[in-house]
Amino acid sequence: MSSTQRALAPEISTWPDDDPRLIGSTCGACGATTFPVQQRCPRCSAADMSQTLLPRRGTLVAWTTQGFPPGAPYKGPTGKDFVPFGVGLVQLGEGADAVVRVEGRLTENDPAKLQFGERLELTMIPFTTDEDGTEVVTFAFQPIDDKEAQA
């Protein structure tokens, strides 16, 4: 991590690790997994939640393009500086290891270039720049190169 970068929400990921992962929670009573971390299980209401690192890879379930700046508490670019961005629902993990669906930015903003079931991987991307010049990064999901996916 450069001293000129910071995470938008440092508590939700292991960034600046080389291979950052999102931090979720798993219920000790029923096994449900959540993102972000929750104190009580949304499935069974137990207060037996423990932090867990979520899989870095998953599959695209649904997507759209955010064509205008979101409402508050959005702190990113607006006006002429706003660039439409892809938003997707990603099923993290595969098969029996599919643990949770996470909504997040996509590195691709053209919905025609995305497809149901496409494999994606977590990455960190620039979001905005603070008043002091510090680059603020956030998590996003990027398509996995076909050659890399088969490795």
pLDDT band at 146 (very low <50, low <70, confident <90, very high): low
State yes or no: pLDDT of 151 exceeds 60: no
Residue 3, pLDDT score: 60
Q: What is the mean pLDDT of the chain?
A: 92
Mean pLDDT of 43-68: 96
Q: What are phi and psi of 21, to 5 degrees?
A: -130, 150
Q: Which spans in the chain are helix H? A: 146-149
pTM for the model: 0.89
Nearest residue to 80 (alpha-carbon basis) of 69, 91, 92: 69
Which element (helix H / strand E) includes 132?
Answer: none
Reported as a single tens digit per residue, the pLDDT across 92-127 is 998 878 899 999 999 999 999 999 999 999 999 999
Q: How far apart are CA 39 and CA 19, in angstroms?
A: 26
Reported as a single tens digit per residue, the pLDDT across 81-95 is 999 999 999 999 988
Percent over 70 (pLDDT), the chain: 94
Reported as a single tens digit per residue, the pLDDT across 57-75 is 999 999 999 999 998 888 8
